[in-house]
Amino acid sequence: MSPRGVAIPDLRERLFAAAERVVARDGAAALTSRAITAEADCGKGVLHTHFAGLDEFVAELVLDRFARSARQAEALEAKVGEGTVADNLQQVALDLLEALPAAVVGLAMTRPAAARHTREGFQSGAPAFDAIQRAFTAYLRAEQRGGRLAAGADTATIALALVGTVHHLLMTRVPGQGQDTQTTVRQLLAVLLGDAGQPRPPA
pLDDT digits (tens, 9 = 90+) for 126-162: 888 899 999 999 999 999 999 999 999 999 999 999 9
Amino acid (one-letter) located at 197: G
The pLDDT value given to residue 196: 56
The pLDDT value given to residue 50: 87
Q: Are the C-beta atoms of residues 144 and 174 closer than 8 Å to each other?
A: no
Amino acid (one-letter) located at 138: A
The pLDDT value given to residue 145: 94
Q: Is the dihedral of CA 111, 117, 122, 127 positive or negative?
A: negative
The pLDDT value given to residue 103: 76
- What's the CA angle centered on 189, arms 186 and 193, to 5 degrees? 145
Give me the torsion for CA of 118, 120, 110, 181, rounded to 10°: -40
Q: Is the dihedral of CA 139, 140, 144, 146 positive or negative?
A: positive
The pLDDT value given to residue 179: 60
Coil, helix or strand at residue 187: helix
Low-confidence ranges of the chain (pLDDT < 70): 1-9, 173-179, 195-203
